Structure 1
Amino acid sequence: MANYPPPYPPPPAGPPYGGDWRYQRRVLKQQARMQRDMLRAQRDAYRYQMRSTRRSSILGPLLLIAVGVVFLLIQTGHISARYFWDWYGRFWPILLIGAGVIVLLEWAFDQYFHSDDAIPRRRSLGGGVFALLILFGLAGIFFSGMRHGHDIFGHAMNFDQNNLDEFWGDKHESDQALAQALPAGAAILINNPRGDVTVSGTSDDNQVHIAVHKQVYTRSDSEAGNKAQQLSPAITSEGNTLSVTLPSVEAGRADLVITIPPSAATTVSANHGDVHVNAIKAPVTITANHGDVEASAITGAITTHINNGDSSFSAHSVTGAVSVEGRARDLTLSDIDGTTTMNGDFFGTTHLERIRSTVKFHTSRTDFQLGRLDGEIEISHSDISADQVSGPLTLAVANRNISLDRISGDVSVTNRNGSVDLTSAQPLGNITVENRNGSVNLTMPEHAGFVVQAETTNGDVENDFSLPGEEGGNNRKTINGTIGKGGPLVRISTSQGDIALKKASVAPIPPTPPPPPPPISIHGSDGASVVIGKEGLNISDGGGTKVVIDKNGVNIRTHPDGSSVYVRNGTRLITQADGTRVYVGSDGTHLTTHPDGTKEYVGKDGVKIIIRPNGRTVSSPGKPLTDADIDKRLAEAERDADKAAAERDAARNK
């Protein structure tokens, strides 16, 4: 057609491509295929373009980092697992709020910095992040229910080492008893990698008595016997130290009950297990990695290292110094004569009572020192309270409400984000209270003399001493003046809180009592001795016979053959050399226990019961006794006899 000038002639009549309909269909299929490939290419190009503009959210990495850090701190003992999950059960919705805030900030960032982009950016969380958030939400609901005492899944979940041991097989138990002589003046070292340790200074035969209770988990009795044999303690002596060491056996533990002479210095190391020490008249050193520690009736210093945030420490009736270091949950101390030092991280409640020397409490959040404690102190996550304290007292803390009642001597308190309530008692000392974002209430003895300087910002000032208040710039209010004849300086400063200076009748704190006089000792050339002290009288004839008479009316006579007689308030306990024990209660009840297991009981009502290995005889003047009545009478008499024996041992070792 190019040879013809326009207009061009019409095309020839008839269908295109001639009359070949097969060729026509093939061409149409090729065109459809090309169109489909073009649409696919456009779709892939669009997807690639959209993916190139999509950005992953930072929320996922932040969650993983936070979870890893928390579990690392729990595993290393820097955070108490118990209190973390308790806290999480209360505040877990904060996690969802934080996640939402992060996503919102990312959206705002894209809108501000990339709003002019031709193709808008998109943020993607991903299915893994959503799964983590759902998991955290379910965990929060579960621990929230546990906080309120609800059992969400029907059974409380409690996993400990014993639960894990059960996977090794059935539980097999056995016992072992050992004895070892301990030279005079020797120390004892106890190491138990897994199991409880109980040490009592009640041995009066210069020997160490060891009772081992073994627990192993196996599938067969033969293997249980082998593991029980491996759990036998190794007793070695090096220099002036006797060592008792238990091996570490897989799926096995051994609880130790050890009785030692009271004058032996004691060192205990327990990796997984509780430690109990009592009635020791020498220094005590304890290391516990995963377990509670309890010490009582110790005449000597106590040094304790605790390395787990879920463990607790308690000490009662200690005449020496007490030192606690490491990480623990609760601390409970009472009736301590020596200096008390607590240094570390303590995640629970600290309760102190009657500490007759200086107290030092230091953690990453609290620094508390005082001269003497006649009352009690309680330190928790949100509050600190103290009653009847002799200064100097120094307290530096944050985010706590402080209540100090009847505090004498110098006082220095620093706080923020909490209130301070202080009642001072005679004899007065200088008082300094510095607070931020909290009120200060100070009560002084009504007839005391002192000089006051008080200042607050954005708060009010009131006082019961008719001192005029002054107002300055920046919403500052002050009171200054001299009360009575003057005396110690009282300085108070706070912000965002009120100051109240009040007066009341406050009982003075008594002075420190003088130390008791030293005991009087008289010793003869044949080994006989007489010791007179504040607790009573001790007499020894040199041949092994000893008599103890204390101020409470206790009379104890012991003989070289191991027999003894104990009398107190009408109660008598006789222990014979062959092991026979005769108990006579103050109500007339008699119980005689023989080494072969025979028991002879006579009640105050005339009932007679004789239990022999081959049977029993019962004589009752009244109605017949049932088996339950017989068991109850024997159990009560044995309980009273055991109580008398414990009182005898405690009095003998004072």
Structure 2
Amino acid sequence: MASPVMTPRPQRSTAGPIVLILVGVLFLLMTLGVLDRYSLATTFARYWPLLLILWGVIKLVEHQQAKQAGLPPRGIGAGGVFLVLFIVCAGLTATQFVRVWPNIKDNIHFGDDQDIEDLFSGSTFDYSDELSQPFPAGGSLRINNERGAVTINVAEGNTLKVSVRKRVRAEKQEEADGYNSKTKPGITVNDKIVTLNANTQGAGDKGVATDLDVYVPKNVELVITDKRGDVTLAGISGNVEVNQQRGEVNISDHTGNVTVDMEHSSTRIQHVKGEVTVQGHGDEVAVEDVDGSVHLNGEFGESVRLVRVTKTVSFKSARTDMEFSRLDGRLDLDSGDLRADSLIGPMRLITRSKDISLDGLSGDLRLQDNNGSVEVGLHKPGNIQIENRKGDVQITIPPNTALKVEARSRGGEISSDFTELQVNNADGQASASGSIGSNGPTLAINSEHGTVEIRRGTVAVVAPAAPSVPAPPGKPAKPSKSLPAPKAAPVESEN
């Protein structure tokens, strides 16, 4: 009986080992400093399909060789299948990450100066430089910095001086020196417009951060654009505009108008003689001691604090619209509360889902709230109109104050410390009406699903004296306009 013919066992494929050798060589070049980690990562994100192409070419050659030799074709094996799946999943993830990273990196904060590139870009190398340029009389300065702090200092004379402190991320000194030479800051002059460019992107996206200490004449107009880094200035007499995406803005002892356009930043402004405008999206905003008006427009996630503003204050966000004539005390606002003292009306406040506490209010008030409590302590009231749904209302009236009161609450009760008021809490439609004193302004309260308390203050709330603000020469100060006396209208039903 003839012996059976043994079928040759198929040999294992060499495609997997070759791909692993290639990947190992790339990682070896990285550890030797020939390739930096960030470049290796971005290169893989773009060219990982070449590994599959190489694998396929090797398998095709092996298949042809096996066919010519009359041998069965080599298989991939379980390990090869796992390696292919790993390359595909890792490659797709890396490609998508590199594609969307430019749109999201400014929303992620790794540290004061750290970015995700820094996690893969070796060591930090420091450099310094000095720049100077004659500054034209009556000129303006524009500063552009992609990454790094900007500090403005007042200097004597008419010369612009810049002290540069640069940090470069690289694998070795020679590489860092090359990035440094390509990112030298520069100054250009066009008529009376002087531009200082930090040039941090001169070598591409290589993790270069440049801090600029700028010395300028006192009377200079500034436009500062800083995408990532703190901006600090003090003692300038000229209009200032700051555009910042991430960091902190600190402005103090300033004469002139201030405009801050922020994105994921915090702003602190104090001791300003001029108009202050803050807009955009940010974290904290603090404005203190402003001899002028203050305008806030945007979404500020953590908190807003205002202290002593001599002219109009306005605030507008998706939830709150507020304006009043003057702030002699302090105002604190966050996502759930608004607390202020020593306000001067006329005041308009429209908001929702916020607990409100106003103490020492003088002048007219129109207030609308929803899903929050309202507490108002009056000092020298004008016409007061308060509307609140799903929240309590408490009014404190100081002694010797005349008011005509019309209060209504649907689904709630009304209580009063004043015998002059007629209170009726029958049938879920509470009301209180009457006059406290004579010839006073009107207090109108409309409440729904909340109690109303009208309290007698034991001691009059006295607001601190406002700073004296002289009127411009030849233009006498205009008195604040009073709001018309409100009419107490019945609360509309939910239907």
* TM-score (structure 2 length as normaliser): 0.70
8 A Cα contact 2:155 2:216, kept in partner: yes
Deviation at 1:395, TM superposition (A): 1.1
**For 1:260 and 1:76, how far apart are their aligned partners in 2?**
33
Q: Equivalences for 1:245-644 in 2 at 5 Å?
A: 245-247=197-199, 248=201, 249=203, 250-308=206-264, 311-426=265-380, 428-466=381-419, 467-471=421-425, 473=427, 475-504=428-457, 505-509=459-463, 513-516=467-470
Q: Which amino acid aligns with 2:414?
A: V
Q: What per-residue deviation string (whole Å, max 9, x for no partner) do you get for residues 421-474 of structure 1?
A: 000112x2100110011110001111111100001112121111112212454x
Deviation at 1:196, TM superposition (A): 0.9
Q: Equivalences for 1:105-144 in 2 at 5 Å?
A: none
**For 1:273 and 1:208, how far apart are their aligned partners in 2?**
21
8 A Cα contact 1:193 1:270, kept in partner: yes
Q: What per-residue deviation string (whole Å, max 9, x for no partner) do you get for residues 203-248 of structure 1?
A: 1021111011011011221221121122221111001111101221
8 A Cα contact 1:461 1:500, kept in partner: yes
2:195 equivalent among 227, 238, 243: 243
Q: Structure 1 residues 483 and 319, CA, compared in 2 at 3 Å: closer, same or farther? A: same
SS in 2 for 1:225: helix
Deviation at 1:510, TM superposition (A): 6.1
8 A Cα contact 1:214 1:231, kept in partner: no
Q: Structure 1 residues 356 and 192, CA, compared in 2 at 3 Å: closer, same or farther? A: same
**For 1:515 and 1:413, how far apart are their aligned partners in 2?**
28
**For 2:463 and 2:292, how far apart are their aligned partners in 1?**
20
**For 1:485 and 1:379, how far apart are their aligned partners in 2?**
36
SS in 1 for 2:439: coil
8 A Cα contact 1:390 1:509, kept in partner: no
Deviation at 1:174, TM superposition (A): 1.0
2:114 counterpart of 1:167: no
Q: What per-residue deviation string (whole Å, max 9, x for no partner) do you get for residues 262-320 of structure 1?
A: 10111100112121121110000110022221111110000111123xx1111011101
**For 1:219 and 1:316, how far apart are their aligned partners in 2?**
43
**For 1:306 and 1:434, how far apart are their aligned partners in 2?**
33
8 A Cα contact 1:456 1:498, kept in partner: yes
Q: Structure 1 residues 425 and 158, CA, compared in 2 at 3 Å: closer, same or farther? A: same
Deviation at 1:162, TM superposition (A): 4.0
Per the alignment, residue 220 of structure 1 pairs with: 172
SS in 1 for 2:138: coil
8 A Cα contact 2:378 2:461, kept in partner: no
8 A Cα contact 1:416 1:438, kept in partner: yes
2:164 counterpart of 1:206: no
Per the alignment, residue 18 of structure 1 pairs with: none
SS in 1 for 2:127: strand
8 A Cα contact 1:379 1:385, kept in partner: yes
Q: Structure 1 residues 323 and 449, CA, compared in 2 at 3 Å: closer, same or farther? A: same
Deviation at 1:75, TM superposition (A): 4.1
1:232 equivalent among 175, 184, 193: 184
8 A Cα contact 1:231 1:254, kept in partner: no
Q: Structure 1 residues 457 and 517, CA, compared in 2 at 3 Å: closer, same or farther? A: closer
**For 2:256 and 2:306, how far apart are their aligned partners in 1?**
19
8 A Cα contact 1:359 1:369, kept in partner: yes
RMSD of the TM alignment (CA)?
2.3
**For 1:424 and 1:223, how far apart are their aligned partners in 2?**
68
Q: What per-residue deviation string (whole Å, max 9, x for no partner) do you get for residues 335-369 of structure 1?
A: 01111001011111101101111110100011111
**For 2:447 and 2:438, how far apart are their aligned partners in 1?**
26
**For 1:75 and 1:175, how far apart are their aligned partners in 2?**
31
**For 1:335 and 1:517, how far apart are their aligned partners in 2?**
18
Instruction: Give the greater-gyration-radius structure (CA).
Output: 1
Q: What per-residue deviation string (whole Å, max 9, x for no partner) do you get for residues 146-186 of structure 1?
A: xxxxxxxxxxx869734532412211001111121112211
2:141 counterpart of 1:197: no
Q: Structure 1 residues 399 and 75, CA, compared in 2 at 3 Å: closer, same or farther? A: farther
**For 1:220 and 1:486, how far apart are their aligned partners in 2?**
83
SS in 2 for 1:165: helix
Count of aligned pairs: 367
**For 1:81 and 1:175, how far apart are their aligned partners in 2?**
28
Q: Which amino acid aligns with 1:177?
A: E
8 A Cα contact 1:166 1:217, kept in partner: no
**For 2:435 and 2:445, how far apart are their aligned partners in 1?**
14
**For 2:466 and 2:234, how far apart are their aligned partners in 1?**
27
2:110 counterpart of 1:183: no
Choose between structure 1 and 2 for higher RCO, CA contacts under 8 A separated by at least 6 residues.
Answer: 2
8 A Cα contact 2:328 2:465, kept in partner: no
8 A Cα contact 1:262 1:280, kept in partner: yes
Deviation at 1:393, TM superposition (A): 1.3
8 A Cα contact 2:414 2:425, kept in partner: no
8 A Cα contact 2:113 2:209, kept in partner: no
**For 1:515 and 1:338, how far apart are their aligned partners in 2?**
9
**For 1:357 and 1:349, how far apart are their aligned partners in 2?**
21
Q: What per-residue deviation string (whole Å, max 9, x for no partner) do you get for residues 469-507 of structure 1?
A: 12454x101010011113111001111111111121223
8 A Cα contact 2:277 2:294, kept in partner: yes
Q: What per-residue deviation string (whole Å, max 9, x for no partner) do you get for residues 603-634 of structure 1?
A: xxxxxxxxxxxxxxxxxxxxxxxxxxxxxxxx
**For 1:497 and 1:506, how far apart are their aligned partners in 2?**
26
Q: Which amino acid aligns with 1:161?
A: Q
**For 2:116 and 2:387, how far apart are their aligned partners in 1?**
51
Gaps of 5+ in 2: 1-99, 474-495
Q: Structure 1 residues 436 and 75, CA, compared in 2 at 3 Å: closer, same or farther? A: farther
**For 2:385 and 2:227, how far apart are their aligned partners in 1?**
45
Per the alignment, residue 91 of structure 2 pairs with: none
**For 1:329 and 1:507, how far apart are their aligned partners in 2?**
33
Deviation at 1:511, TM superposition (A): 6.6
Per the alignment, residue 652 of structure 1 pairs with: none
**For 2:221 and 2:333, how far apart are their aligned partners in 1?**
32
Q: Structure 1 residues 468 and 516, CA, compared in 2 at 3 Å: closer, same or farther? A: closer
